[in-house]
Structure 1
Amino acid sequence: MSIRVSSNQMVYGYQKQLNDANTRQTTLLEQGDGSKIHRPSDSPVDYTKYIRYDTSLNENEQYTSNVNTALSWLKTSDAALVNITNIQTTFNEKSVLAANSTNNITDMAAIAKEMMAEIQEIVSLGNTMQGDRYVFGGQKDLTRPFEMSDSKMQRGLTKTLDVNQQNYFAGRNGVGENGTLRQMLSLKGDDGETYYLNVKDGYIYTKDFVDNGYKDKVATDPSATVNPAADAVGHLNLNGNKFVVADYFKNTGEIINPNAKLTATVTANGSTANMDFSFNTVDQQIVSFTGDNKYISMVKKNGTTEPTADTVNAAASEIFGVDIFDDPDSGNSPSGTAMLNELLTVHAKVEAGDNIWMDTDGITIADGAHAQTIKTETRLGARAQLYNSVNTMLTTQNELITGDITEVSSTDVAKLAVKLMQEQTIYNMSLSLGGRILPQSLADYL
C-alpha cells in the first residue's frame, strides 16, 4: 500500500526542521557570553548544581564581608588600646615620680598637669570611631560614650590594696560573692583618725594595721589571713543588714550624701563603745559613660551566633575595669569608667601634693589600670587573629565554590565555535534547499 505525502506535510516538516536548526543556533549564540546555562531547561542537573553553588557563594561572600568589617573594627580598637596602654605606661612613670618625698609643690603641680593631659587623651581615645560608630560604646555606638565633667565632685576615697594586702585581707570573711577583696573604703572616725572599711563584711580596721600591722602577722606566719575578731577595731551597726555601697555612692564613686554617717561598735584599750564615721572623699573631676557594656557580634560562619567567639568590640568595663563602687557586690551597675576615675583620684592627690598617698596607693592604682587595659588588648589581639584565620579560610572556600560554578555553567569556547559554525552551515544549506523544493505560492507570481 503506497502512502501519499502531500505538499503541505512536506512544507510542515521542512519548517519544523528549519526552526529546530534556528533554535539550536540561537542557543549556541546565547552561550557566547561564557555561560551554557540560561534557563533550567538548558541542563536541569547542572542548573540545580549552579543554584546550590550560587547560594553557598552568596553566603560565603556575606560572611567574608562580616569578617572584613570585624577586622577593620578590631584593628581600630586595637590601635586605640595600644595608644592607651602607652599613655598609661607614661602615667605609671609619673606616679612613681610623684611618690618621691623630695618633690616640692611646684614639682607636684607640674606632674599633675601632665597627668591631666594624659587622662584627657585616654578619654579621647575612648571615643575612637570606626566610620560613624564609636567602637567602645557597646551597642549604643552612635552616641559619644565618654565625657569628663567640667566641675569637680566629691568622690569616695578608697584604700587600694597591693598583692600582699589582698592575700591577707581576702580571708574567708574578706571575700565576697564576686571575687577577691581589692579595695576598702576610707573612713574618718569622730576621733579624727583614718580607718578602712571592708564593705564585704562590715569590719573596720585602723589605717596603721592595713598599711603596716598586718605585716607582723605575716612575718610570724606566712600563710596567715585576716582574723576580723582580733584584727578589726569594730563592726558596723546596721541592725543585721548588709552594707551596700550603692546606698551611699553612685557607680562612678560620687558620694550621694556628703553628710552621711555610719555607726560602728569599736573596741579600744579594752573598752567597747559606739563611734561615728564619715566617708573620706576627694574633690575631683569624674568621667561618665553613656554607652552600654553590651557586645557586638559579626557572624563569620553559618549556624548560630556564638557571643564568646563572634564579638568584635571591647566593653568599657573590660577596658577600664570595675572598682569598689561598681563591682557586682556594690549594688551598682558597671560604670565603664572605674579606672579612669581612679586615675583622676591619683591626679587630685598629686595636685594636692600628697606624695605619701601616692607611695601607698597611687602607684598601685596606676599599675592596676595599666594591667587591666593590657588584658583587654591581649584578648582583642587573639580575637583579631581568629578572624584573620577565618578570613583566609573563607577566601579559599570562595575560590573553590567559584571553581564549581565555572565547571557547571561555563561553556567551552573552542567547542562552541565549532558547533556554531556547523549549525550555521546546516541552517544556510536548509534555506538554500528549501528554495528549491518548496512549491511556489501565489506571491511568487506577483
Structure 2
Amino acid sequence: MNRELQPLLDEWAREAGVPGASVGILHDGEESLLTTGVSSVDTGQAVEPGTLFMIGSTSKTFTAAAVLALVEDGVLDLDEPVAKYLPELRLADPVARDTITTRHLLTHSAGFLGDVDIASGWGSDALAAAAARFDELPQVFGVGEVFSYSNSGFLLAGRVAEVVSGLGYEDLVRERLLEPLDMTDSWFLPWDVLTRPHAVGHVLRDGKSEVAHDIGLTRSLNPGGGLWSTAADQLRWARFLLTGQAKDAPPLSDATRALWRTPQRAAACPIEQIALGWMVTRHGDAEIVRHGGNVSNLQLSDFITVPAENFAVTVLTNGVGGGVLGPKVVDWCLENLAGLPALEAKPVVPTDPAEYAGSFPTGDLGFEFTVRDGGLWARMVATDGTIETPPAFEVAFVAEDVVARAADTRRPLARFLRDEHGEVSAVEFGLRTAQRERSRLTA
C-alpha cells in the first residue's frame, strides 16, 4: 500500500501547493502511516508520524462524545432545554432561549448565527465568557427548522458540558476520551502543542506558501475546532468509532456509540444526513461516516470511515491546498483499498446562470456567485477579513438548482433554494444554509 500511495501523495501535495501532510489508513485491521513535505516552509522541518496538525472541525465529534458520556452518567438529557443547565443563558430570541436543546446544538439546527468567533481570551473562563455574549447572535432560522453548520452551536455545547461535569472543557475531553483511548498525542492548548513537533498553517501568496503567524481560532472555539492531533491518534479515534476499541474501559457503551453515529436529520449539501456530531453520506451503495476540518484555510483535514468495511483514512495538511489533496487521497483509498466504485462524473445541465448570481452571507463567512463569460463562478469570502479568501472557481449545474465544480462534476457542491415565489432565496454551500442578499452580483 505505502509503495503505491507514497509517490502519489508526494506528487499530489506538490500539485496542490501543500507544504506538508500526514496520512493514516486503517485497512484489514492494520494501520499505515505516510507523510510528505515539511511542517513549516521557514524551518524546512520534515513532517514525521508524530507531527501534530490541527484537525479543525473533527473536534466536534469529541465534543459530541463528551456530551454523550454525560448523558450516560445521567446528568444531561439531550432533549431538555439548554437553559435548564445554563439558567443565565441569554439569546436574542426568548422563544429560542427556552426551546433549544443540546440535540439541536449537536445537529446544527439551533438556528442562531453559526459562523462567528467570539474572542474571549485564552483563560480557563473562555467558554463562559463567550457564552455570556450569545444574545449578540441573531436568530436566523426557527429552532429545529433548518440545518446550517454552526460553530457557535458547538461552543455552547462545550459550555453545557463544562457546567454539567464541573470540569473545564479540555480537561473533560482528556479525562473521558483521550486518556481511555490512549490518545497521548492530542492537545488543545498552544502551550501544550509548542513543546512537541507540530505543523504550522500556511497561506498562499503569489503562488507560494508562506507561514501564517496565527493559529486561526481562539480558545472559545475549541469545542468546534481546536484539537491538535496526529494521524496515529486519529486512527485510534476511528477504531473506537468503528469497533469500540479502547485501552481501558470504553468511554461510551456500544449502544451510545451506535447512537453517536446514527443519523438524526437531513443535512445540507453536500452531506445527506447529520448524526450527533458526525456527518453521514454515501459513496455508491456504501455508508460513509465522516468529518473533517478547515481552520481558517491554514490547516485542513479529512476523516473518513466505512463502517461496513471496518475501514478508515485520515489526511492532515497545513495549507489551503489540503482541500484538493485530501479528497484525492481519500478517493484513492476508497477505490483501491476499501473496494468502493469510482465516482462517475455527472452530466452538465445547461442552465442560465444569471438568476443565481448574488451574495449569500452567513456571519463571518459569505458565498458569492458571479457570471463570467456566460458561466457561473463561486467564491467563499471571509467577511471579517481574518481568513485568506481562496480564488473563485467555475461551477456547472449537474441537476436542477444543484452545482458542482466545473473541473470535477462527480460531487454536488451546492444547492440553491427557492422561496414561495420561485425566486432563488438561499444556498446550501459548505454545509451552511445562507440567505441571499437582495442585490445581485455580475462581472
What TM-score, normalized to structure 1? 0.19
Q: Which has the larger radius of gyration?
A: 1
Whose helix fraction is larger, Structure 1's or Structure 2's? 1
Whose strand fraction is larger, Structure 1's or Structure 2's? 2
What TM-score, normalized to structure 2? 0.19
Instruction: Report 1 or 2 for greater relative contact order, CA contacts < 8 Å, sequence distance ≥ 6.
Output: 1
